[in-house]
Amino acid sequence: MFSNVFTPEQIEAAALCLKTEIPFAIWETLYITVLSTLLACVLGLPLGVLLVAGEKDGVRPLPAWLLHLLNGLINLLRSVPFLILMIMVFPLSRLLIGTAVGTKATIVPLVVAAFPYIARLVEGNLRELDPGIIEAAQSMGATPWQIVTKVMIPESVPGLLNSFTLALTTILGYSAMSGIIGGGGLGKIAINYGYYRYQYLIMYLAVILLVVLVQLFQSAGTKAVGKADKRLK
């Protein structure tokens, strides 16, 4: 069936690529995606907590101007298309990593794009929590910090894991775009072979592998949520 669509040379080139370049590309994709997501969580989780805890009737109200500022920042970053954002953060990449192109440098735009997204996801997760549970903790004399670290976050773990999975798969998609600025991984392969050299077979291979990765992440995430959630047992 393949020989009707693809010439033997194309199939041979794809097989070669599969052996030589693709394993490393898979590794690069995984490493960029996971590292970027983790770094984005480091920023996004506290930010999401601030948005909920800092509200007017939250556990530790913040000045209204600060909340407006944080919300504005998140909305601003969320509204810039990722393709443009990648270029806009060049100066920041140079400052932090020393270069604006290449695999490592793609981590910067990925984190900048992902942390506001994660902050919103975390905000949503924490808002789902039954306010009665927070009230109970307050009635026991819990400090705002204790409420955040011992009630809000632990009680939201299943939702947070779900959000983490969602963020991971979204960032995986973004990381594929970073082939444009020289970032490595499956995205680069798809663009270089498929878009620039018309080797569609290799492009399809890369895309199929991306799909498989997303599936794997998602089913692992769903499993982890099921295991973590004590409400389902």
Partner 1 sequence: MIEIQNVSKTFVSGRTQVEALRDVNISIGDGSIFGIIGLSGAGKSTLVRCINMLERPTSGEVYVDGQNMGDLAPLQLRAARRGIAMIFQQFNLLMQKNCLANVCFPMELAGTPKAEARKKAQELLALVGLPDKEKAYPAQLSGGQKQRVAIARALATDPKVLLCDEATSALDPSTTRQILQLIRDINQKTGITVVVITHQMSVVEEICDHVAILDGGRVAEQGPVSTVLSSPRSDAGKRLVFPGRTDERISVSGRDKRLRIIFRESAATSLPLVATMAREKGIIATVLEANTRKLSGDVYGTTLIGLPEADLYEAAKFLSSFENVSVEEVPADVQ
141 binds partner 1 (CB under 8 A): yes
Q: Which is nearer to partner 1, 16 or 136 (CB)?
A: 136
Interface residue with partner 1 among 108, 151, 210, 213 (CB under 8 A) is 151
Stretch that binds partner 1, among 11-19, 86-94, 95-103, 142-150 (CB under 8 A): 142-150
142, 150 Cβ separation under 8 angstroms = yes
CA distance 166 to 3: 38
187, 206 Cβ separation under 8 angstroms = yes
Q: Which is nearer to partner 1, 9 or 130 (CB)?
A: 130
Site mask for partner 1 (CB under 8 A), range 174-213, x = bound: ----------------------------------------
Q: Which is nearer to partner 1, 71 or 146 (CB)?
A: 146
Stretch that binds partner 1, among 7-15, 86-94, 147-155, 193-201 (CB under 8 A): 147-155
Give the nearest distance from C-beta 124 to partner 1 in angstroms: 18
Q: Which long-range contacts (CB under 8 A, 24 or more apart) does 72-80 make?
A: 73/116, 74/47, 74/116, 74/119, 74/120, 75/116, 77/112, 77/113, 77/115, 77/116, 78/116, 78/117, 78/120
Residue 212, CA distances (Å) to 15, 172, 215 in order: 18, 11, 5
